Amino acid sequence: MAVSDPNFEERNQDEKKNTARGGFSTALGALFATLGSAIGLGNIWKFPSEAGMNGGAAFIIVYLLATLFVGLPVMISEIAMGRRARANVIQTMRKVSPSKKQPWWLIGVGGVLAAFFIMAFYTEVVGWVFAYIFKSITGGLLSTDPAVTSQAFIDLISDPWQALLWQWLVLIFITVIILRGVSKGIEATAKRLIPLLFVLLLIIDIRSLTLPGAVEGLKFLFTPDFSKLTAAAILSAMGLAFFKLSVGMGTMTTYGSYWKDDQDIPGTTARVMLSDLFVSLLAGVAIFPAVFSFGLQVDAGPSLLFITIPTIFASMPFGGMFMVLFFLLAAVAATGAMLSLIEVPVAFLNEQFSLPRAKGAIITSVLLALIGSLAALSSSVLADVTVFGKNFFDLFDFLSSNLLLPLGGLFIAIFVGWFWGKENVKRALTNDGALQNEKLVQVFFVIVKFVTPLLVLLVLLSGFGVFS
């Protein structure tokens, strides 16, 4: 067909629209959707609570190194493979594998599993966030006494019905969006939510920075104290880098399969990484100055968001309004991340079993409600059930961030560096020679082949106590 035919592009577009496989409609849309996956509770909830527990700036420096030498290279690898194969994560690994006999598709299986584990506890935390938006509008949460806010949180998580209902509400919300498809659902939502997220974050940052004694919080965020850095803290920092950038499990492979052929992979992923980092730091700036200003504990851990934050807002003028905005921000951030998590199994069911998206999405959500209820009930009915000394909620979190994602990332880096090979990498990252970025590709290849696998392996082994 002659490309000069003026109607070709139009017809080609129409044809694409009619095929089952969707895609992001513009380069900017792909950037927003991918960023929407990266930004989430990882920034607003995990990053501040883990940095708070592990010495602030020192932890952030390790996190940064992990992002640069592990997270970003794995992200580039995943997007490149997904775009080449144009398929869900399991089929992508099959297609790019040099021989049918090599079981690289198992990386995809691990990815689908990880998506379920993460969604199981993630939807629960988002459930709390939804509950807090509702409760802060009705004014039920504000108290300057940490004992009261802490009791309110315990009341919420230890009531099995509340925990389950909020989680199901979250699942229904996400399913409704994902049913609309890749472009009209995921991309359109991300394009609206990301700008809103920045506006909300800036408002809260300004509020926090203008509190008396805010400087102490900034010092905590930006002056390193390496004495708190244990091997376990380093493993957490690396786990967080995987979790934050949504890598090691096929989310980015799946999203890469929706990217356009002429999109610059290293350039766009670097933008995603930097913006995500910026949002994490802005979240730190929203939280730590306020924590210090009111003399509260920085190392409260996961409850930082749900116990410390309400105490802070109760102590300031218009606190009720800021609290609604804050939890709205968390919900906005989490939405894009959940869409990308659920898309991994939905795309797989859709392509592997030719299930319509709607069916795949509903099956996935029902499965998620089942597995998720193990996490939702882990502070009430199932509180005494532990595996490896952890309740289901903590187990799903630990298994995914600190084991499945790093292992997935390790094998992805080994595959790309040693099996997919330099020629394929070069073609994928230069867009078949269209981009003049050969030097960058060289550097990337050395990192992904040697540095990334070695670092992941070392951190995993030492985090699990092999060297001690």
The strand pairing partners of 390, in sequence order, are 387
AA letter at 329: L
The site for ligand PHE, by CB under 6 A, has a size of: 15
Q: Which is nearer to ligand PHE, 42 or 48 (CB)?
A: 42
The pattern of x and - marking residues 110 through 149 that bind ligand PHE according to CB under 6 A reads: --------x-------------------------------
Residue 142 or 334: the one with the smaller Cβ distance to ligand PHE is: 334
State in angstroms the smallest separation of the CB of 398 from ligand PHE. Answer: 14
Residue numbers 20-39 binding ligand PHE by CB under 6 A: 37-38
- Least Å from the CB of residue 77 to ligand PHE: 15
Rounded CA-CA distance 124/156 in Å is 11
Nearer to ligand PHE, 124 or 437 (CB): 124
- Minimum CB distance to ligand PHE smaller for 207 or for 244: 244
Q: Which stretch binds ligand PHE (CB under 6 A): 11-19, 199-207, 239-247, 408-416?
A: 239-247
| Alpha helices in 180-303, H assignment, sequence order | 188-209, 214-222, 231-244, 251-256, 265-293
**What are the Cα distances from residue 266, in Å, to 80, 260, 297, 445?**
9, 14, 40, 12
Minimum CB separation of residue 397 from ligand PHE in Å reads 11
Q: How far is the CB of 10 from ligand PHE (least distance, A)?
A: 35
Among 208, 246, 257, 308, binds ligand PHE (CB under 6 A): 246
| Gap between the Cα atoms of 392 and 377, Å rounded | 8
Binding mask 161-190 for ligand PHE (x = CB under 6 A): ------------------------------
Residue 229's nearest CA partner among 65, 409, 406, 395 is 65
**Least distance in angstroms from the C-beta of 46 to ligand PHE:** 7
Does residue 244 interact with ligand PHE by CB under 6 A?
yes
Residues β-bridged to residue 387: 390
Q: Which stretch binds ligand PHE (CB under 6 A): 41-49, 77-85, 150-158, 162-170?
A: 41-49
Residues near 30 by Cβ (< 8 Å), separated by ≥ 6? 24, 187, 255, 258, 259, 260, 263, 268
Distance CA 328, CA 134 (A): 10
Q: What is the 3-state secondary structure (H, E, C) of 389-452?
A: CECHHHHHHHHHHHHHHHHHHHHHHHHHHHHHCHHHHHHHHCCCCCCCCHHHHHHHHHHHHHHH
Burial of 45 by CB count in 10 Å (0-12 exposed, 13-18 middle, 19+ buried)? buried
403 counts as binding ligand PHE under rule CB under 6 A: no
Considering only residues 43 through 72, tell me which ones interact with ligand PHE, judged by CB under 6 A: 43
Upper half-sphere CA count for residue 259 (Cβ side, 13 Å):
31
Answer for which of 23, 29, 40, 48 binds ligand PHE (CB under 6 A) is 40
Instruction: Note the maximum CA span of the chain.
Output: 73
| Min dist. Cβ of residue 287 to ligand PHE (A) | 15
Give least dist CB 431 to ligand PHE, A: 25
Shortest Å distance, C-beta 38 to ligand PHE: 5
Is 330 among the residues that bind ligand PHE (CB under 6 A)?
no
Residues 359-388 touching ligand PHE, rule: CB under 6 A, are: none
Q: Please select the residue that binds ligand PHE; options are 29, 42, 52, 409, rule is CB under 6 A.
A: 42
Q: How far is the CB of 401 from ligand PHE (least distance, A)?
A: 8
Do 342 and 112 contact (CB within 8 A), yes or no?
no
Report yes or no: 236 and 42 within 8 Å, Cβ to Cβ: no
Rule CB under 6 A: is residue 337 a binding residue for ligand PHE? yes
State in angstroms the smallest separation of the CB of 74 from ligand PHE.
12
Stretch that binds ligand PHE, among 212-220, 226-234, 241-249, 410-418 (CB under 6 A): 241-249
* Tokens coding 369: 């409600």
Of 54, 335, 55, 312, nearest to 204 (Cα)? 312
Closest separation between CB of residue 387 and ligand PHE, Å?
Answer: 21
Considering only residues 339-358, where is the footprint of ligand PHE by CB under 6 A? 340-341
Burial class (CB in 10 A: 0-12, 13-18, 19+), 291: buried
Q: By CB under 6 A, is residue 280 in contact with ligand PHE?
A: no
Residue selected from 251, 253, 308, 452 as contacting ligand PHE according to rule CB under 6 A:
251
**Which residues in 125-145 are b (16+ Cβ under 10 Å) and which e?**
bbbbbbbbbebbeeeebbbee
- DSSP secondary structure letter of residue 143: -
Binding residues (CB under 6 A) for ligand PHE: these are 37-38, 40-43, 118, 243-244, 246, 249, 251, 337, 340-341
